[in-house]
């Protein structure tokens, strides 16, 4: 039984939400960040990049404290206001391709995370968990929800569809031409129905945000130990999540880029590949695979299709069926000598949402030697791997939707 509860969100005022909302800090180029910081005093980037005020790079605990200071200033100036009643929040995105994503922003249970009611499909890095936990503990809030997915549910969709007939509390369009909407659900009957509907679900799945959820677990342990009057219903026992039906989740692949051929010539490399793949030269025209276990490859100005010789590879587990794992087991590790996908600087990743020509241009520039394209994983694969207690390689999925930071904020 999943425990999903309403919370009192801190939100920008209606007139400033479009100015406050930002993408994740890392997704901006330096020039983009500086432009927003120079000309938009309301951007959430001012909170997460507090050293900008002093024209100085600040890191560690000093930065965390300044983040907290900037956040409190936004509250003091009335840019952020906290809701008076615990609520659920319908968040809708319509992207530039007219694809819709509808979900509910709510608080999910750390206990569910520990007990595997909330299932994971990715490994996390301990140092990153600890760093983000320390950050959360100092600043006292979280502005980026964990993306959770659940089976489509008629009780929830009936309520959310009805509420969306009303005028949204927030409606704003970004420079990416995505339009964002937010509705608050504070009606007690609706809150009760939604809470009960989630309580009937045996499992929720993390689609994106494994480090955020694991850091929230560490934070809960720390604050629980420090609280002599711990009751179990404190806000630190939960973490902000965006829960979206499985049918509305969009999964893209991450293509792989490698800087060298591990000492092999082009001909030697192709001969190595031939042992496990049937190779066809597709020439200079961009080529993308259309089936699982088939890959595209760009090398030395030409595209190739790679078709797995199934007699030479057996699928023993659900993880073996995943193309990101297959590529690792058959090419990246045994031929190209890449063992540590998280830390080897010879490999990089490019979202499959971007055109295959982006992969081509990075190789043509000389930055990389070879690139591999694949088809996206499916929600069924992701769930099966999580159910089996297995973990995907890093950057196996690029998942949408991507929410803006600073629209709903969860305080501990």
CA distances from residue 59 to 44, 50, 130, 336 in whole angstroms, order as listed: 18, 10, 15, 36
**Among 325, 324, 338, CA closest to 255:** 324
**Among 330, 376, 367, CA closest to 348:** 367
Q: Is-contact 71 411, C-beta < 8 A?
A: no
Examine the pLDDT at 261 and tell me if it is beyond 90: yes
Provide the β-strand partners of residue 78.
Answer: none
Mind listing the pLDDT tens digit for each residue in 276-325? 999 999 999 999 999 999 999 999 999 999 999 988 788 999 999 999 99
In CATH terms, the fold of domain 254-396 is 3.30.1760
pLDDT value for 352 = 87
pTM passes above 0.75 = yes
pLDDT value for 154 = 97
Cβ neighbours of residue 180 closer than 8 Å, sequence gap 6 or more: 21, 91, 92, 93, 170, 171, 172, 173, 174, 404, 407
Cβ neighbours of residue 8 closer than 8 Å, sequence gap 6 or more: 82, 83, 84, 85, 86, 87, 411
Q: Please report which confidence band the pLDDT of residue 25 belongs to, taking 50, 70 and 90 as the band edges.
A: confident
pLDDT value for 54 = 82
Task: Give mean pLDDT, residues 123-130.
Answer: 87
- Residue position matching structure tokens 């090398």: 299
- Tokens encoding 147: 């993306």
Mind listing the pLDDT tens digit for each residue in 28-79? 888 998 999 999 999 999 999 998 888 888 888 999 999 999 999 999 999 9
pLDDT value for 314 = 87
DSSP per-residue string spanning 362-406: HHHTTS-SEEEE-PPP-HHHHHHHHHTT--BPTT--EEE--PPBT
Task: Give mean pLDDT, residues 341-351.
Answer: 92
> Is residue 200 classed exposed, middle or buried when 0-12, 13-18 and 19+ CB atoms within 10 A define those classes?
exposed
pLDDT value for 283 = 97
Cβ neighbours of residue 256 closer than 8 Å, sequence gap 6 or more: 327, 332, 347, 348, 349, 350, 371, 372
Domain ranges (residues) in the chain: 4-248+401-411, 254-396
> Which region among 152-166, 265-279, 352-366 has the lowest average model confidence (pLDDT)?
352-366
| Average pLDDT across the chain, whole number | 95
Q: Please report which confidence band the pLDDT of residue 126 belongs to, taking 50, 70 and 90 as the band edges.
A: confident
Task: Give mean pLDDT, residues 317-335.
Answer: 97
Question: Is the Cα torsion angle 181, 17, 110, 210 positive or negative in sign?
Answer: positive
Strands 118-119 and 250-252, sheet pairing: unpaired
Mind listing the pLDDT tens digit for each residue in 203-255? 999 999 999 999 999 999 999 999 999 999 999 999 999 999 999 999 999 99
Task: Give mean pLDDT, residues 393-409.
Answer: 93
Task: Give mean pLDDT, residues 3-15.
Answer: 98
pLDDT value for 212 = 94
d(CA 99, CA 95): 5
d(CA 189, CA 301): 62
Task: Quote the percentage of the chain above a pLDDT of 90.
Answer: 88
């Amino acid at each position: 039984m999943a425990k999903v509860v309403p919370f009192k969100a801190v939100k920008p005022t209606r007139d400033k939400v479009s100015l406050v909302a930002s993408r994740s800090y890392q997704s901006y180029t330096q020039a983009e960040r500086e432009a927003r910081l120079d000309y938009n005093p309301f951007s959430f980037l001012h909170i997460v990049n507090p050293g900008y005020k002093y024209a100085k790079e600040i890191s560690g605990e000093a930065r965390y404290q300044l983040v907290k200071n900037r956040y409190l200033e936004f509250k003091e100036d009335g840019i952020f206001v906290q809701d008076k009643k615990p609520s659920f929040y319908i968040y809708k995105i319509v992207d530039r391709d007219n694809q819709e994503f509808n979900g509910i922003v709510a608080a999910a249970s750390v206990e569910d995370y520990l007990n595997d009611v909330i299932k994971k499909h990715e490994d996390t890095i301990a140092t990153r968990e600890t760093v983000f936990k320390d950050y959360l503990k100092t600043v006292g809030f979280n502005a980026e929800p964990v993306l959770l997915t659940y089976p489509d549910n008629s009780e929830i969709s009936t309520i959310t569809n009805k509420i969306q007939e009303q005028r949204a509390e927030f409606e704003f369009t970004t420079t990416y031409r995505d339009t964002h909407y937010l509705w608050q659900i504070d009606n007690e009957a609706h809150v009760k129905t939604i809470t009960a509907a989630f309580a009937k679900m045996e499992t929720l799945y993390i689609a994106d945000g494994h480090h955020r959820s694991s850091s929230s677990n560490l934070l809960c342990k720390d604050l629980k130990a420090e609280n002599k009057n711990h009751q179990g219903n404190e806000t630190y026992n939960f973490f902000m999540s965006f829960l979206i039906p499985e049918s509305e989740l969009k999964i893209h692949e991450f293509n792989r880029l490698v800087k060298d051929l591990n000492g092999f010539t082009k001909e030697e490399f192709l001969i190595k590949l031939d042992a496990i793949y049937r190779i066809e030269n597709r020439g200079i025209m961009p080529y993308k695979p259309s089936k699982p276990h088939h890959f595209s490859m760009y090398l030395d100005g030409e595209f190739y299709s790679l078709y797995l010789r199934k007699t030479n590879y057996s699928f023993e587990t659900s993880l073996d069926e995943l193309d990101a794992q297959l590529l690792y087991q058959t090419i990246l590790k045994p031929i190209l000598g890449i063992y540590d996908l998280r830390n080897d600087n010879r490999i990089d990743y490019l979202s499959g949402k971007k055109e295959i020509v982006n992969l081509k241009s990075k190789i043509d520039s000389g930055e990389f030697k070879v690139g591999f394209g694949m088809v996206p994983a499916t929600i069924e694969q992701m769930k099966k791997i999580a159910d089996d207690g297995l973990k995907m390689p890093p950057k196996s999925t690029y998942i949408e939707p991507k929410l803006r930071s600073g629209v709903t904020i969860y305080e501990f």
